[in-house]
Structure 1
């Protein structure tokens, strides 16, 4: 799965998401004459990443200078300026993570291959990579096509509306933020699959320990009861936990800024929809444009939060399964096994697998409710301003 992700990530260099570190470039396997070309292309990509930072700043300042102020809509102009600033700030963080978090991102991808091989070789688990690649590709195509179609429909309905914001200046920002969330969503989807594979093997161990007399013919129970097998499960879990830590490390700030910017986006868009109902704009056309803007954004955020929530549930399910392993015999041969179960249980109690926005919030279904409450509160305040 690692190689497929790297193939897809090649196209994200333009947006500044990922460039493989130089020491991982396969230069030594190339012909001597080709090595300078590879190094040159790599340096060009790094230069491009560094050039993204001032380019984003120039685009932001240019929009502030050339966007004319519309009299009589001071509150609307202020809200859209704050929202546009949050988009620019999010893109700066995404580009900065692409530059200064390359090593963590590369380690994250490398460990995916390590987890896959550990499941295959140490636990004899069929990871079913072909099925996973097809499912992930379908998910990726679905989200990309949904984003593209809804974006085109939004622009078609939006082009003739009176607008005081910075939409035409922020198209690059909006596309980068959407694709960044889709990238992280794909990562979480792959990690969820690996967690399910680990749960399946742990379930077999628990079933054997709870009902040793009910054995199936196609399962090697002699291997299931061994200390090495449980140790392999523990080490693979540690790899998965490290993967989520790396994900939070190289993408935590961009997740925090994008979710915050989307909250402002929801608020601003609903505010403009409210103005359209008051007769400030053409009501029907603006509500249609609003709908096409909300659909892909809501689908991506909801899907990401759902996947993160499922990973947290699988983590707690692993802890629940491990607590069911009861060793009644007190022989010395089982002392090491019993000690390992205790250590693994303690580890699960102290460690929690979760995706966070730099610990400001945790991505799960509860976050969606919190966002809804915050937007509702914001709309109540805005309505009070409109009634004055």
Structure 2
């Protein structure tokens, strides 16, 4: 799955979401010891040329990432300088400034993470391959990579088509309005933020699949320990009851826990800023829709345009929170399954196994798998409710300003 993700991610280098690592091709060696020095020199030249070409492309990508930061700042300042205040409601102008500033700030954080969190991102992708191999070789679990790739591709295509179709419809209705605010300046910001969310959503979807595979193996161990007489013919129970197998489960879980830590590390700030911008986005959209029903004839189209603006972002955020919530539930399922492993026989040979079960169970009770926005909030279904409450509170305050 790691290779498929890298193929998809190489198209996001323009937005600064991912930079492929620099790989050095192996030097070509002569197959015969009797080869002359000319052939050896030629092989070294070819290898050096390949390394130089890859190194140049890698350095060019890094330079481009560093250039994104000042370019975002220039675009933001230029918009503030050349934008004219239109309209009679000062609150609308203030909200427009605040919303546009949150988008620029989110893009700055995304570009900064692409530069300074590049190693954590690369380690995250590398560990995906390690988890897949551990499930296959150590736990003998069929990961079903082909099925996973098809599901992830369908999910990716669905989110991309939903995003761009709704965005095109929004542009169609919004462009004909008299007052468009900073919209044309923020197109780059909007696309980057939404593709960043889709990127992280795909990551969480893959991790959820691996957690389900680990749960299946742990369920087999629990079933054997709780009902040893009910055995199936196609399962190697001698391996399931071994200390090495339980230790392998513990190590795979440690890899998954580390993956979520890396995800929070290299994408925590962008998640925080994007969700905050999404809250402002929803609030501003509802506020302008409210204005369109209060004798503002020129803003009647905000109702239709606001709908096409609101739908894709809400679908992506809700889906991401749902996947993160499922991962948290699977983490608790693993903890519950492990607590069911009770060894009643006082055999000395099972002392190490009993001790490992106790340590592993205690570890799961103390640590939790979760995706957070730099610990400001946790992405789950409760966050959707919190966002709804915050937007409702904001709308009450906005209505009070309109009635003054």
Listed as ranges, the matches of 1:1-388 within 5 Å are 1-22=1-22, 25-28=23-26, 31-32=46-47, 33-163=49-179, 165-282=181-298, 284-388=300-404
Q: CA deviation at 1:283?
A: 5.6
TM-score by length of 1: 0.98
- CA distance in 2 between counterparts of 1:356 and 1:208 reads 36
Q: CA deviation at 1:281?
A: 3.7
- CA distance in 2 between counterparts of 1:151 and 1:223 reads 53
TM-score by length of 2: 0.94
Q: CA deviation at 1:164?
A: 5.1
- CA distance in 2 between counterparts of 1:5 and 1:337 reads 38
Task: Specify the alignment match of 2:40 in structure 1.
Answer: none
Flag as ranges the 4+ runs of structure 1 deviating above 3 A. 26-31, 281-284
- CA distance in 2 between counterparts of 1:66 and 1:29 reads 55
Q: CA deviation at 1:28?
A: 3.5
SS in 2 for 1:335: helix
SS in 2 for 1:370: helix
Gaps of 5+ in 2: 29-45
Equivalent residue pairs, number: 386
Q: CA deviation at 1:11?
A: 0.3
Q: For each residue in 1:91-128, what CA deviation from the matched residue of structure 2 results, as whole angstroms up to 9, or x when unmatched?
A: 00000000000100000000000000000000000000
- CA distance in 2 between counterparts of 1:28 and 1:48 reads 27
- CA distance in 2 between counterparts of 1:113 and 1:29 reads 25
Q: CA deviation at 1:71?
A: 4.7
Gaps of 5+ in 1: none
Larger radius of gyration: 2
What is the alpha-carbon root mean square deviation over aligned residues?
1.0
Task: Specify the alignment match of 2:32 in structure 1.
Answer: none
CA contact (8 A) 1:198 1:233 kept: yes
CA contact (8 A) 1:108 1:247 kept: yes
